[in-house]
Amino acid sequence: MSASDGSRKRRAAALERARPTTPGRHEATRMNTIIAKRVDSGTADTSEIRDLARAAGYTVVGEVTQSRRADPALQIGEGKAEELAALAAETDATTVVFDNRLGPYQTYNLGQLLPDGVEVIDRFTLILEIFGQRAQTRKAQLQVELAELRYELPRAEAKTSLAKREEHPGFMGLGEYDESRERDIKAQISRIKDELERIEQTEQQRRERRRDSGFDLVALAGYTNAGKSTLLRQLATDLEVEENEELHPDLDPTAESQDKLFTTLGTTTRRAAIDRRDVLVTDTVGFISDLPHWLVESFKSTLDSVYRADLVLLVVDVSEPVDEIHEKLVTSHDTLYERNEAPIVTVLNKIDQVSDEELTDKREALSSLAPNPVTVSAKEGLNVDGLLERIDRELPDWEEERLMLPMTDDTMSVVSWLHDNASVDDVTYGDEDVIVSFEARPAVISQARSRASELRTAAAESAS
Ligand SMILES: Nc1nc2c(ncn2[C@@H]2O[C@H](COP(=O)(O)OP(=O)(O)OP(=O)(O)O)[C@@H](O)[C@H]2O)c(=O)[nH]1
Ligand SMILES: [Mg+2]
């Protein structure tokens, strides 16, 4: 059995669930799920884990929560676990989803308590399932596979060490122990990393080419379901297909955004409707709190378009309670903090859902984390022009330049390059040279200067 057979089977089952069929009785039962969550103190909020389960195609039929310290064997207390087992039997559940992270022993012990055939998964496995269902490009698939292997590795190690000590014979019933499995996983991880690196290099080159040809790069970032994809459609003029040779749902201009977590997994880039300059806007995977570092690590390159942007638009759903917005902003800033160098503009989205007073209050309450935000409704198209203006203002300023180009065979191609990449104010043709006045980004100006000097060198050579 190869190292990722288990995860492949899980993905196949997850894909099966994601299929848009009209569920018959049998299917409906097959997807029944109970949510379980333990918190150290206070009451457990299960809204996000429910949304995640729904996004993965499960039907939530019950929930069990508890406030206490973690139980090493079962995560929740024994009495609670028995209650969970009874509820599972009663509701014909086939899956229990824990919002807490489960260790391999906890997973095993819970499985023993629950009715036969009930599968126990945790928040991270669930997120991986969703990612697996949504992954449509080679890159996204590799990233999911990498994340799965990283999840599996410590578990394989735990199994091996258990087997060596022969302390938990029962645990071995889970599957055959094989030390080569660990090595296998490690080899696969390194193979996938190599392939991802090659893909990333190509993408990096593409970004550089775009930057060189005068594009400003703007990235949409933010918590999942904030409205990034909806906003992209409002900001975009035409479709940029080059990056999406492999099918991506967001490529279809009529594709609806969904009120589901992680609708977007890859990146989609489109050209923004700003007259004065060429701006590309990239939509990407949403953030979520409490992700283990191996998962963030696996999807990091997807966020490269954010980290390497000239400007980041941090999209926030302003219709949510202010505490929740605050928490999500902190998560987003934490995710961005490490590597982002671009200025960040906070976009408070979904203003159609809140009254003017509520919006003022929330702006005030969030002012330390989100100073001077832009408020929009991506869905209703409210203040999209205001946002476009703000993008124009925040991006590096254009400068004026006047270049004298000697007349050579290549001069006209430089002039037409300037027409493509700058805003040309005037072109004056003399007998031996052309004078071009234009405005452009600093990067374009320095490139134009070096092209001019190449022309001068060529002209001098042909004259001598
Ligand atoms: N009322 C209202 N709903 C909005 C607005 N913008 C987006 N939505 C809805 O919010 C939900 C999520 O929108 P998406 O654009 O898919 O959000 P996203 O940030 O791309 O989400 P992921 O790709 O899942 O991370 C959809 O149901 C949208 O219709 C808005 O301005 N007002
Ligand atoms: Mg999206």
Q: CB under 8 Å to 283, separation ≥6 — which residues?
A: 220, 228, 229, 232, 250, 264, 267, 268, 269, 270
Buried b / exposed e across 15-51, counting CB within 10 Å, b at 16+? Answer: eebbeeeeeeeeeeebbbbbbbbbbeeeebebebbbb
pLDDT at position 41 is 94
Res. 237: pLDDT tops 80: no
CA dist., res. 38 & res. 45, Å (int)? 10
CATH superfamily, domain 214-394, is P-loop containing nucleotide triphosphate hydrolases (3.40.50.300)
Report which protein residue has its CA nearest ligand 1's atom 32: 350
ipTM above 0.95, yes or no: yes
Q: Which atom of ligand 1 is nearest to the CA of 380?
A: 31
CA 119–ligand 1 middle distance (angstroms): 32
Centroid of ligand 1 to alpha carbon of 426 (angstroms): 44
Q: Which of 220, 258, 325, 383 to mutate to test the pocket of ligand 1 (most atoms within 8 A of CB)?
A: 258
Q: How confident is the model at residue 340 (pLDDT cuts 50, 70, 90)?
A: low
Q: Do domains 5-134 and 399-463 have the same CATH topology?
A: no
What fold does the segment set 5-134 form as a domain? Rossmann fold (3.40.50)
Residue 33 has pLDDT above 60, yes or no: yes
Model confidence at 132, pLDDT cuts 50, 70, 90, reads: confident
Cβ–ligand 1 contact at 257 (below 6 Å): yes
What is the C-alpha separation between 332 and 323, in angstroms, rounded?
A: 14
Domain ranges of the chain: 5-134, 138-197, 214-394, 399-463
**Binding site, residues?**
222-229, 264, 283-286, 349-352, 377-379
* pLDDT band of 261, cuts 50, 70, 90: low
How many Å apart are CA 285 and CA 264, to the nearest integer? Answer: 5
Q: What is the pLDDT of residue 177?
A: 52
The CATH number of domain 399-463, selected from 2.120.10, 3.30.1370, 3.40.50, 3.30.300: 3.30.1370
Q: 417 exposed, middle or buried (CB, 10 Å; 0-12, 13-18, 19+)?
A: middle
Confidence at residue 221, expressed as pLDDT on a 0 to 100 scale: 85
